[in-house]
Amino acid sequence: MKQIIKTPNAPAPIGPYNQAIVANGFLYVSGQIAINPQNNELVLSSVEDETKQVMDNLSAILAEAKFSFEDVVKTTIFLSDMSLFPVVNEIYGSYFTGAFPARETIAVAGLPKNVNVEISVVATKA
């Protein structure tokens, strides 16, 4: 059985998917981009601001499902350019305490709405 997670504190999906799904004790959070859920506008003023908005969106979804960054076991970071890695990595890391999750970071040819950063996570309380 799966449970759909939805919160108005993160952007609504821009396609046929959900913000997150809980299944078998795992939370699977769809890739988040820097859409401000308050006004539905992209935050692209800087890579720092963009990454912070992505992480805040992930945080809101985790909280809605009663999880936190401490429960995250796997992340995937997609970047428009690997030169953004140091800045994104520093901000990303500031959201975690204790043991970091497993992760891969991938540079891709394009991301939704031409953003620079998209991040997805998997979490569990196990």
Give pLDDT tens digits for 40-85: 999 999 999 999 999 999 999 999 999 999 999 999 999 999 999 9
Q: Beta-strand (E) ranges in the chain?
A: 2-5, 20-23, 26-32, 35-36, 41-42, 72-79, 102-107, 117-124
- The CATH number of the domain where 76 resides is what? 3.30.1330.40
Structure confidence by residue, pLDDT tens digits, 6-24:
999 999 998 999 999 999 9
pLDDT computed for residue 122 by the predictor: 98
**Both structure tokens of 2:** 């799966």
Q: How many structural domains compose the chain?
A: 1
Q: Domain range spanning residue 91?
A: 2-124
The model carries a pTM of 0.97
Q: Measured at the alpha carbon of residue 101, what is the angle toward residues 97 and 107, in degrees to the nearest 5?
A: 115
pLDDT computed for residue 98 by the predictor: 81
